[in-house]
Chains A and B, each alone.
Chain A
Amino acid sequence: MSQVTLLLDASRRGDAAAVEQLFDLLYNDLRQLAHARLRRSGQFTLLDTTALVHESYLRLFKAGAIEANDRGHFMGYAAQVMRSIVVDFVRRRSADRRGGDAIHVDLDTAAAHVEDPREREVLQIHEALQELEKIDPRLVKVVEMRYFAGMTEQEVADALERSVRSVARDWEKARLFLATNLTP
């Protein structure tokens, strides 16, 4: 079996070390892709998370590291990793703006320190998702795929092996939760 498929299998069985390796692998891969994209298109480019996730999959698929029927599971994990990359990125930028030195900032209040409203929204969503995780982790998965990885409802439904209708319903509920919990 190919490497990523093996890790996906083990992750599904609940193997924590496999989950970790998978994240490590995806994080590095997605980061490198973003990096390469930046070099290609010069200083100003858009962080197109959707394209990055798809490109990462294609690369691994062509290299024979993942099997075709694992695409859905792969996307699920990739979305979670994308969330991590985006949040790291925003935090890093806001830290740079504050001088970049290491100040002990409480995670709960990190969002309050970010000046750019769009970036603040990302952090607020991230923090609200941590709350939502305790209430209904399934909704969090849907938000990660839709928002952080830009997947369509159909793609999310495929990845989670659920109906489009139930994914759409979860997305609505999650949006209402987030809209209520985000301070404008």
Chain B
Amino acid sequence: MNASLIDPALLAQDCPEALTGSLRSGHSTCIRFSHRGDLLASGRFDGTVVLFDLETNGLARKLRGHTAQIQSLSWSSDDRYLLSSSQDCKAILWDLKDGSRVRTVRFEAPVFIADLHPKNHLLFVAALFEEQPVLVDISTPDPVKQVLTSAPHRSQIERDNQTEKQAAQDAKQTTTVIIFSASGAHIIAGTNKGWVNIIDPNTCQNLYSVRLTTGVVILIRLTASGKDMVVNSSDRIIRTIPLRNLSSPELDFHNFKLEVEHKFQDLVNRLSWNCISFSSTGEYLAASTWMNHDIYVWERGHGSLVKILEGPKEELSIIDWHPHRPAVAAVGVDTGRVYMWSILTPQRWSALAPDFVEIEENLEYIEREDEFDIQPPEELHKRRLDLEDEEVDVLTIEPMKNEHEPGQFLMPVLLDVQNSDSEDDIVAVGTGQFRRKTPGQEWLDDSQVPGSGDEARRQTNGASSSAQPGPKRKR
């Protein structure tokens, strides 16, 4: 509702311009904005997943369950569920209503990436380290895993002429990145030999393959609309590929072709790219760079570099563009801090007094005809009241974009999120002054679960520590 009061020039800006803040809880290795953009999930080196509230820049929840570095995070479309995958060979689906684990899925190998189906939060795909990717149905407590292929799709003629060596090579390929298309009707996967496969999740058949590069496909991401795809690969080139016809019903994979629209690279410095992200509309593309402190932003229409966002004095790894604001978040490799770039909003001084106007140059003031007339106050007052004859509507609510609607999932506000974490026991009490946090008594009653649901369950089962009265000290 603030849009009507904000300088339109600021509203028109769609690309971040400066480092505006940072968030920290442990050493972050992976971040992802929620679809509504009010939360940022951050996976940590120690396996904890934390949620930052972007309105308060404070911690909103901690989810403990993984024991090794978090590799990927994926939100359900209603922002109620979060899928995390980790190097500890597990993927966990979290219910953010109470912080409990809906499902824990174990794999044979560390997980590269796990991506939730856009419409069904009980279905996901995962790419595994040196294993074939899997499609996992977790609608039942026992997860059903279906192995997908990494071998490229070959036409009949190709198959007939295939040499043994080629066949062996095809079989040796592994998938390094796998995601669902925006409709969920297809799976898009990238392999370690530079192939991109389109797989049907129903039949698990590879429908189409194209070799984009000879290097490893590092990351594939889509725009919010799902109409464009961007591929980062180890050959130091970022490719954007339109997917416009992927969702059409009369899609025929015999005539289907993925064509590269733009290739972004730095020919001078030969930079390689750590991570890439589309802007909310897909108009811009941001990339963090290897061994470099900057974020490169390209404009996709012309394929030109529009901005280099200067960062902190450290290399940046995972990067994500806010779903509807001109803001970018990125993780610092050395400190594990999450940095935020956004637009700068200077204070308009005319807002502080209604009779101030911001003018470009001096104007001669022309007084109103009756400006200095002396009138009886009753007269003035009466006239003022008489002017108030417009109709006002104080009730009708106009629906707005990106607004929380009643009935939508809203994460409960927990009051003791920061408790019981060694690092966050230190609280800032002033500039440069810190003190250890005083542990307080259990304030929430049993129906409100602290931290994660698992912890609460453990507490009730064990009935050891939580039964003690008085303050608990963690270390």
Chains A and B bind each other: no
Interface positions of B (Cβ within 8 A of A)? none
Interface positions of A (Cβ within 8 A of B)? none
